[in-house]
A and B are shown apart, each in its own frame.
Chain A
Amino acid sequence: EAGVVQSPRYKIIEKKQPVAFWCNPISGHNTLYWYLQNLGQGPELLIRYENEEAVDDSQLPKDRFSAERLKGVDSTLKIQPAELGDSAVYLCASSLRGYNEQFFGPGTRLTVL
């Protein structure tokens, strides 16, 4: 069974440029999470989807970040415009609703110059 897939693995951009990350969850998983992991810290939740509905986006900086999960499967996280402080690892995870275990993808390491 394929795990959570994320792309790209690495992205280097200049500040003020837009960037997008893509996540494909494990087949059948209706809950999808985006986490932000700053260097040397644990991940923090940005947004959680139940199917196509964003049910917890309280930590998402909505002035520059946006996310979508069309059709309740793949998801895209976008930053526009990127700032130096956005350099971090962006992790995607998925789970079955009601189950406690979250399965993580390999993450995207973003570097903003």
Chain B
Amino acid sequence: AQTVTQSQPEMSVQEAETVTLSCTYDTSESDYYLFWYKQPPSRQMILVIRQEAYKQQNATENRFSVNFQKAAKSFSLKISDSQLGDAAMYFCASKTQGAQKLVFGQGTRLTINP
């Protein structure tokens, strides 16, 4: 079974600063994928970044990057140069090739202070 754990219910950061959101996961499968989704108050889940487990290189999307530690089953999200529009709930999720469903963590509420 897959599990995803986000241990930070809330985080805050000053605008233009850098913040890191933590996520750990567990799976017995070798072929899996990891994601970070953003959910603003509008409730629409938006994909921020994804990582294929077989890739050693950490994924990067503009100001968003991940630190994927496969042996430790850790998948943290770093947001650089935080902007007011980054304020939202952030969910870490995993998906195995077999199950085809996303398993989400509990979420981290990110606040950006102007």
Contact = CB atoms under 8 A, between A and B. Distances in A.
B102 A45 contact: yes
B107 A41 contact: yes
A105 B43 CA distance: 8
Q: In terms of DSSP, what is the predominant structure of the interface of chain A? A: strand
Interface string B51-91: 00000000000000000000000000000000000000001
B73 to A, nearest CB: 17
Contacts, number: 51
A35 B34 CA distance: 18
Contact of B50 (A45, A89, A101): A101
Interface of B: 4, 33, 35, 37, 42-47, 50, 91, 93, 95, 99-102, 104-107
Interface of A: 31, 33, 35, 40-45, 48, 56, 89, 91, 93, 100-107, 109
